[in-house]
Structure 1
């Protein structure tokens, strides 16, 4: 659903860009003094806007695409990371099997607005979430592991979180309330 909404938004943007470009070209063909300037402006501004639309997404489309409403979530393991030098190491972990807590964590992570950032330096991840998920595929139940790397500002290493939502709220509460196991 989210992918189709993003695709529809992109297609509408592309159509609007095309309409403005046709108008600018008509001005150019009428030998108007504004013709060349309008073509350049439409191409530059429209190109930037379309590029921005291409690198924007949501956490539901980019990260949680394997977790559906009808998915059976068997467990969630959260591992706390520490960045030392140039490598990550696992410090502590917790296994969660209570469905209510898992749903709260997924709710915190859903609906985030993201921008792809391919120039990001390593570091900044605080947790690795391993979700054991079962999905019905035709006549077979398919079980797999969905891994999400999340920090304060980034999710899955190269998506910058641009939403103001506290996506680590439930995990921080668990850090205070539950004893974690050393690794």
Structure 2
């Protein structure tokens, strides 16, 4: 039963598109008598729809997290975990908390250039690094909200998105692994 529901859920948007095209074809047939013109119009609509749907799969790091992380946000701290992904279930090996504003800024600057494409088959848990960013956002005058933003990232993916830009977005994080001022704490299983 679940298989039927899953398949119908994944195909539902195609069903809606097909119904919309049939509706448009019927409406066009009232105004246009030339069937070739109707076909060409529908072909243009289908092409434009496919292009528009495909474009919704693309994003940038800043667009993806603009609601949580924007110019008015204050980043209080950043926790970086390095995961062992060799087994079936990833395990956190070590963790470090970063409070140095210049390091936090450098990491966010590395991420700011990322261009992303939604990857339907991506698994969040397969990423080498898990980053928790503690953010303070002012909701209204005198009222702030502190929240955590979690980012799972490696060389090729970020939170279910494929990284399509050619950037060295992990350079600052990887430089911290051997950094003497950063204390990496082993995590017990």
Task: Determine if the TM-score, normalized by the shorter chain, exceeds 0.5.
Answer: yes
Please say if 1:92 is aligned against 2:100. Answer: no
Q: Residue 117 of structure 1 contacts residue 159 of structure 1 at CA under 8 Å; is this kept in 2?
A: yes
Of 106, 109, 132, the residue aligned with 2:108 is 106
CA distance in structure 2 between the aligned counterparts of 1:51 and 1:108, rounded to whole angstroms: 28
Shift of 1:85: 3.2
CA distance in structure 2 between the aligned counterparts of 1:50 and 1:79, rounded to whole angstroms: 37
SS at match of 1:137: strand
Q: What residue is the counterpart of 1:80 in the other structure?
A: 82
Q: What residue is the counterpart of 1:65 in the other structure?
A: 67
Q: TM-score, normalised by structure 2?
A: 0.72
Q: What number of residue pairs does the alignment pair up?
A: 158
Q: TM-score, normalised by structure 1?
A: 0.75
CA distance in structure 2 between the aligned counterparts of 1:168 and 1:72, rounded to whole angstroms: 22
SS at match of 2:68: coil
Work out which of the two has the higher radius of gyration on C-alpha atoms and give 1 or 2: 2
Shift of 1:123: 5.3
Structure 2 residues not aligned, in runs of 5+: 1-23
More strand by share: 1
- Deviation sequence 1:16-70 (CA, Å, 0-9, x none): xxxxx9xxx79x936385x355235313321221111111111112135312222
CA distance in structure 1 between the aligned counterparts of 2:123 and 2:64, rounded to whole angstroms: 20
Runs of 4+ in 1 over 3 A off after TM superposition: 121-124
The CA RMSD measured in Å over matched residues stands at 2.5
CA distance in structure 1 between the aligned counterparts of 2:55 and 2:45, rounded to whole angstroms: 15
